[in-house]
Amino acid sequence: MIIILKPDIDPDGSEVSQLLAYLKQFPDVKTKLSGIKGTSRVVSEIYLIGPTHNVPKDVLQSMPGVERVVRVSSKYRQIGKHGGQLDELGFEYNGIVFNQNSFHIFMGPCAVDTLENVETMMKHMAEYGIATARMGAYKPRTSPYDFQGHGKNCLPWVFELAGKYGIKVIAMEVLKEEHIEEIHNALQEAGNPTGVMLQIGTRNAQNFELLKAVGSQDIYPVLYKRGMGLTLEESLNACEYIASEGNRNIVFCLRGVKTRLGDPHRNLVDFAHVPVVKRLTRLPVCIDPTHSVGTKDLAPDGIYEIFHAASQGVVAGANMILIEFHPRPEEALCDGPQALTLQDMDHFIQDVSISRRAYKERRDLASRMSLTKMQS
């Protein structure tokens, strides 16, 4: 059950204390005060968790300060789309807005390798006005004998370069709680020249302790990648862990699922779930065509299959793309063969913008059609 408070109700004011006092008569029901920053106003909600079936909705609804009371299904309490709530869980971070209408391309190498490569990459991004990057300092590798990333040592110069080239947000995977601190300290020491979106990788999709760790801080937003062997429901449930700890600045990322039915792609591209996630939750949706497709095959129409997958996600409304580029893929320490080169960047950006424009046309068409139906 969620009590949505009227705009600008003071969380420390009398209305809220009156509500909390009333709710004390239901000892098994816990309450949690939660502030959502919408694009135009701050909305406070009180979450009631536990056996709420005896709590009378009508009584609550008539109490001072209450705008609406919503009984939520047990699923996706915090990230779900329940009737009567704010339409979306949008947020702004370091000057960049993320919600179900926004659109950003996060590009960069799989793993940070040399300073030179990182600088070359960022310089090119700056030329195209791209302020959102992806690059891993900590890499989870299937074999313990593979390159595991440079770890915290590379953070100072990565952040410095990001500041130099105007990168506002870097999506960076974390594998354990300590990594969050390391990133935080490095950013602080560098004077916060850029921002970081903490990425939860597919292998940690049900590492609930890590989810709680990123969820219990609210400085950095979280990019949650679907588990490659998990259903959408299982993944959204895991995502709910993050939100249940307090941090709802989450982007949900589709990255393909593992099944032999996806061959010859590395994973079976699951971007038909883009509109599903937008329907079931209030989260912005990201796609990762690089890891989904996993090869650099060129279709006979002269378009990389990675581009095709990206286009499929975007034309259905994706809000964010993670895409691997590398100045010298042949030297990359991780996933080189599937990385695009700097020569492909211009083509990719133009290709994506065709698809994004098509999506907007489709959305406008749907809105006109809906009007027509209502009028007829």
List binders of a second copy among 42-101 (CB under 8 A). 49, 74, 77, 81, 87, 100
List binders of a second copy among 106-165 (CB under 8 A). 140-145
When asked if residue 246 is in the footprint of a second copy (CB under 8 A), the reply is no
Per-residue binding string, a second copy, 304-343, x by CB under 8 A, is -x-xxx-xxx-xxx-------------------------x
CB atoms within 10 A of CB 193: 16
Give me the phi and psi of 165, to 5 degrees please.
-105, 15
When asked if residue 365 is in the footprint of a second copy (CB under 8 A), the reply is yes
Size of the site for a second copy (CB under 8 A): 93
User: If DSSP codes are grouped into helix, strand and coil, which group holds residue 195?
Assistant: strand
End-to-end CA gap in the chain:
37
CB atoms within 10 A of CB 250: 27
Q: What angle do CA 353, 357, 358 make, to 5 degrees?
A: 115
CB atoms within 10 A of CB 369: 10
When asked if residue 366 is in the footprint of a second copy (CB under 8 A), the reply is yes
List binders of a second copy among 214-243 (CB under 8 A). 227-234, 237-238, 240-241
Under 8 Å between Cβ of 159 and 165? no
The CB-of-118 to a second copy minimum distance in angstroms stands at: 24
- If the CB atoms of residues 85 and 194 are measured against a second copy, the closer one turns out to be 85
When asked if residue 39 is in the footprint of a second copy (CB under 8 A), the reply is no
| Helix %, strand %, coil % of the chain (to 5) | 40, 20, 40
- If the CB atoms of residues 13 and 337 are measured against a second copy, the closer one turns out to be 337
Per-residue binding string, a second copy, 251-290, x by CB under 8 A, is ------xxxxxxxxx--xxxxxxxxx-xx-----------
The CB-of-161 to a second copy minimum distance in angstroms stands at: 27
* Part of the chain binding a second copy (CB under 8 A), chosen from 13-21, 31-39, 334-342, 354-362: 354-362
Residue 263 burial (C-beta neighbours within 10 Å; 0-12, 13-18, 19+): exposed
Measured CA to CA, the distance from residue 145 to residue 122 in angstroms comes to 29
The CB-of-194 to a second copy minimum distance in angstroms stands at: 25
